[in-house]
Structure 1
């Protein structure tokens, strides 16, 4: 999928000369955490977010400045920092270095931008104008739809499901397929065999559950601790005393 497939098209935005008070009121009213800042031509010139408004003298949260800072930082940067903490206009407090993307940007690149830049939203720009916004909430809504569609998928042939489960295990790269016996009956996957590491259990279950048509996964896998000889069962087979037994 691409940005255009999930982006919010009706974006609430503000101008740089809007008061900080009104920008806060707008965020609270719309239940959003940030606002793109546009110039008269609808080009993005900044973003004002909750994070830009946390360090404020009105809250007693402004960052104290050691006296020696003035000798290391230029007067211009000090003035800019002062305005960011005390400004009454959006243009004073907004983040000016804005990361944008195009409507054709793949979602994996959008997520990579969010992760690397530690941002929650990416303005989508086309022809120099704002046309949408991709937020973390947009990604979650898309993920929810995908999970719902997978859950509501029509029944599939058991043999096809088994083949896809094997493929999913191989693609995962961390699952000992040669140690696992897979059976599928009416879309329910049964797993028997051994694990080389107990941490593989969650990966195996996740891989099986990700296959279209799987209705349930029955874990009958065991893991033997090479040091103690304890056998760790799945929670579906564990006994009331804690799910382990000596061998």
Structure 2
């Protein structure tokens, strides 16, 4: 799946010479948290988002004025900050250093860009023009659809034998690369998977259960795993000894 498949094509935009009141009103009307900013020629020149309005004089959220020494050290940066906190035009507050993505990029590439730059949305640019926008919500919708398709094609309990399910679960656990061969034993009865073995730390438990639950045909996972506490060299009891029985439906 690529960005073109999930991106939003009908994108609300704002002109760089518009007033911030117009941008805010459009964001509230469309219920979006950010807008691509275009110049009069239609070229993408920036992005304005909710974060650009967090520190404003009108809200008394702007930080105190810096001391005189900072005006000497970096006057340009201070002038830019002042404009962002007091300016009334979109060009004053927008983010100019854009991170963009191609429509042909994979979702993995888009997700990596969002994570690396800690941003929520990416303008999609094709041949120098804005083609759409891909946001975290778009990836969430794609994931929801994928999970629905997976569930719809999951075989019924009788469609796969317990032996087939066991072999697939063992392969899924091996593919994690987290557990030496033979450390985890898998038993399957009527689609219910029971796991036994010893983990080195509790964080491994979620990984092994996720591997088992991802296998089609698995109806339930029973956790009989024990965890060794490296600090005390002691073994913690499996969740099956607790009130929830260590059981979770797949």
TM range (shorter): 0.7 to 0.9
The Cα of 1:88 is off from its aligned counterpart by 0.9
CA contact (8 A) 1:41 1:129 kept: no
Q: Secondary structure at the match of 2:178?
A: coil
Gaps of 5+ in 2: none
Gaps of 5+ in 1: none
**Structure 2 equivalent of residue 42 of structure 1:** 42
**Structure 1 equivalent of residue 195 of structure 2:** 191
**Counterpart-to-counterpart distance in 2, 1:78 and 1:154:** 58
State which drifts further: 102-111 or 154-163.
154-163
Q: Name the count of aligned residue pairs.
A: 239
Cα RMSD, aligned residues only: 2.3
Deviations 1:125-173 (A, max 9, x none): 1111111111111111112222222233231523443332222211212
Q: Secondary structure at the match of 1:119?
A: coil
State which drifts further: 145-154 or 164-173.
145-154
**Counterpart-to-counterpart distance in 2, 1:96 and 1:214:** 49
**Structure 1 equivalent of residue 89 of structure 2:** 89
**Structure 1 equivalent of residue 58 of structure 2:** 58
> TM-score of the superposition, structure 2-length normalised?
0.86
Q: Secondary structure at the match of 2:237?
A: strand
Deviations 1:176-208 (A, max 9, x none): 441222133443322233334333221110111
The Cα of 1:73 is off from its aligned counterpart by 1.3
Q: Secondary structure at the match of 2:241?
A: coil
Q: Secondary structure at the match of 2:62?
A: coil
Are the structure 2 counterparts of residues 160 and 66 from structure 1 closer, same or farther at C-alpha, using a change threshold of 3 Å? Answer: farther
1:207 paired with 2:239, answer no
> TM-score of the superposition, structure 1-length normalised?
0.87
CA contact (8 A) 2:186 2:194 kept: yes
1:157 paired with 2:160, answer yes
1:21 paired with 2:18, answer no
Deviations 1:54-103 (A, max 9, x none): 111111111222221110114x4433222211111111110011111100
**Structure 1 equivalent of residue 70 of structure 2:** 69
